[in-house]
Structures are given as structure tokens and as C-alpha cells.
Amino acid sequence: MREIVIGGAQMGPIQRTDTRAQVVDRMLALLDQARGACCDLVVFPELALTTFFPRWYMEDPAEVEAWFETEMPNAATQPLFDRARTYGIAISFGYAERTPDGHHFNTSILTDKAGEIVGKYRKIHLPGHSEYDHDRAFQHLEKRYFEPGDLGFPVWRNLDAWMGMCICNDRRWPEVYRVMGLQGAELIMLGYNTPSVNSQASAEGLEQRLYHSDLSMTAGAYQNASWVVGVAKAGDEDGHPLMAGSIIVDPNGFVVARAETEGDELIVYPCDMDLCAFGKSTIFDFARHRRTEHYGRITAQTGVEYPDT
């Protein structure tokens, strides 16, 4: 048995006026709970340090830059790294990253138990739009503030397991899980900030949105025989509701832990990485069963192209 006790550190809303220090204090409180639950790894949400700022249309570059981190760890987050190191807990969390050469990404990092960053992922599937859209109930401007990630979907050896990351909208794309599954991923971590309301289809209610979130993650887990941990930032951020629904999914696609609130909440489950072996050696033994000669369209084509009739 290769058991990793994983904590999904769901966070409640972060308001526009909240400081990094206030947010990190909340993250530290969740980390304290995780120590009490004997966690080995704690997964925090996407953009864990700030409100979901892509909902705001901003034209002033200085206003935009204020949401981005230029180094990690930095003065605001160092206490989180220090306490995680003291506790011997690996962590993963998301933030807005500005690189030294001026590129902007929606990023997640992964540390080992010594607090050293061992993995970085930059969000690839950016939803929304880049200019103000009068037809939307609210804005979703990730394409305005972020560039598509440039690191692919890497997998790292950490805590004696193969681990990968993705972020929010990535979870809805089956290719994401499969690319990591083809690298032997046993654990896929993701954070999300997902509106409770569809800005273009208001009739789609919270129940449907939670179902689609679950469906994406449980299917990805099952079809790649991997644990999946999906962690939300939720609740009412400056009048804009985000859905909760944080879950831990086992390699057979079953939800084994689920958040009950829309606030700061830790869900915990002892995840045996060896449970991935059965699926990876039977129905999803890729080496035996995949037929790549028929899959070329997946990477050769982006949009729909109807067959000639």
C-alpha cells in the first residue's frame, strides 16, 4: 500500500478588498486542520490568493498587474511554505503568475514535504473571452488577462507517486487526463473557480453545473485509473457566486469525499496509490488496447470539420 492522506482545502469567497496576508492566514488555518488530520498533501484552489479577478473588465495595466505574483514563494506566501515544511506536508495551490519576461499565466505549483517546489503547471484551456461582452450576465475575461499555458501536462514523482495538475476548465477536456495518464499519472490535482451561474445560459442551474463538474472529474479518474482531487473556491465574491462541490475521486471513478459547505472546509481521504494498478493493467492498459493509428484527428484538427457528403 502506498497511502497518501490527501486534504482538499476548499476556500470560501475572497473579496476584492481582501489582502494576500488575510488570505494566507485562512490557508494556514486549513493547513493546521490538515496536520490534525495527518495529511501528507493539501490541495488548495485555483487563484487561491485573490478574488477571481477575471470577472472585472480592467484597462489600466497597473490595476491588472496588482493581481499577479512575480515570484513564488514571496513575502506574502512564505509563511505558508514555512508552516507546510514544519508540518512535513506537501502543498499545491494556484495563483496568477507574471514571468520575469512579462508573460501572464494562470498557474499551479506543487511542493514536496520539505517545502520545495517540484512541479509547475500553467492553465491551457482558457474559457471566456478577451473583450467586454454586453450580452453576458457577467464577464469572464481569462483570455484577456492570461496566455495559454506553455508547459504542457507534465507529471512528477512526489511522495512515491506520479502526480499531475490541471486547472478549472481543463477538467472538462478528456485529452488532459489522457495525456497525464499516458505518463502513468496516479494522482491528478486541480483547483477551480467556477461561477454558480452560466453567464450565457441562466436556465442552467447549480445542480446541473455541479453534475457536469463531477462528471468531468469522475470520468477522467475512471478512464485513466487515477485519483482525482478537485478543489473549489466558492461562495459569494463581491456579489458573484462561485460553486463549491470539492471532491476526491478514486481510480474507479467513485467520489469518496465531498465538501458540504461553500466556505473554508477541509475534506480528507487516505488515498492508496496502488489502487490505480488494477485499472491500468486491465481495461485501461494503454499499451495493449489503444489504437493510435485511428486517433490522428485529435491532434491534427481543432474545430469541427464535417465529412464530405
> Is 168 among the catalytic positions?
yes
Q: Which residue is catalytic, options 97, 123, 166, 233? A: 123
> Is 280 among the catalytic positions?
no
If you search the block for the grid coordinates 492553465, which residue do you land on? 123
- How far apart CA 135 and CA 27 sit, in angstroms, is 36
Q: Which residue is catalytic, options 166, 168, 271, 276? A: 168
Give the up-direction half-sphere exposure of residue 64: CA atoms within 13 A in the CB hemisphere: 18
Residue type, 217: M
Q: Give the Cα-Cα-Cα angle 260, 204, 11 (nearest 5 degrees).
A: 30
Residues in the chain: 309
Q: Which three three-digit cell numbers place residue 230?
A: 478537485
58-to-51, 105, 237 alpha-carbon distances in Å? 14, 17, 17
- Its sign, for the CA torsion 237, 243, 249, 255, is positive
Question: Is the bond preceding 270 in cis, omega lying within 30 degrees of 0?
Answer: no
> Is 276 among the catalytic positions?
no
> Could you tell me where the DSSP H helices lie in 137-253?
142-145, 174-181, 206-224
Residue type, 301: Q
Residue 287: which H helix or E strand, with range?
helix 286-289
| Secondary structure (3-state) at 35 | helix
- How far apart CA 220 and CA 240 sit, in angstroms, is 28
Do 213 and 195 touch, CB atoms closer than 8 A? no
Q: Which residue is catalytic, options 39, 46, 237, 280? A: 46
Beta strand pairing status for 161-167 and 155-158? antiparallel
- How far apart CA 175 and CA 220 sit, in angstroms, is 9
Q: What are the residue numbers of the active site?
A: 46, 123, 168
